[in-house]
Amino acid sequence: MNYVLAPSILSLDFARASEQINEAKDAGADWLHFDVMDGRFVPSISFGTPVLSSLKKSFDIPFDVHLMIESPELHIRDFIDAGADRITVHAESTNHLDRALHMVKDEGLPAGVALNPMTPLSDVLSALELADMVLIMTVNPGYGGQSFIPYCYDKIRELRNIINEKGLHTDIQIDGGASKDNISDILEAGANVIVAGSSVFKGDIAGNVKMFKEAMRKADK
């Protein structure tokens, strides 16, 4: 299985953004994750295309853009132009999920569909043939630093079983609460793309990245 670590810039110290991103990248981080929040779909407001475009000028790591915004199909083109390498939209945020996913894929980019913790998997099963990745929110979206919601383990396992039964190669990404204490259980459940914010950017960044990557190496044996 292809395991990926995607540190979330939501937990960056933006006064040291370049230094911290480079430290994570040099230690083995695979993607950089952007949690884009509009203050409507989720309570918080984070950042938009100017931040993405600015960072794109300095880093060649893939930019994984997670749109936690209403009507994402109205903004997908802007994020692609700003430098997104892959885009994930929420099933709950649009009445036009098929259109939104096609907008991403028609540009040659991988498209993902995200689910909030209490949203059932049935809401995205029809999109599995189209989506390259399913993101399961493992905290309630809107704020960093929350604890992993335990019932999400079963959700990850169920989704991995469905993907395997269909003979698909869809990635399962989790976002929220991943740490040294639970990463092995998360990987065992079937997730292979791990978003981590404070667990990467707080403290020893290089050491934190290496901890996650070592857990992935063990899971791949």
Which of the residues are catalytic?
35, 175
Number of other residues whose CB lies within 10 A of the CB of residue 167:
6
Pick from 90, 96, 95, 98: nearest CA to 116: 90
Q: Provide DSSP, 16-51.
A: GHHHHHHHHHHHT---EEEEEEBSSSSS-B---HHH
How far is residue 75's CA from residue 193's CA, in Å, rounded to a whole number? 24
148 contacts 179 by C-beta, under 8 angstroms: yes
184 contacts 204 by C-beta, under 8 angstroms: no
Pick from 98, 86, 72: nearest CA to 34: 86
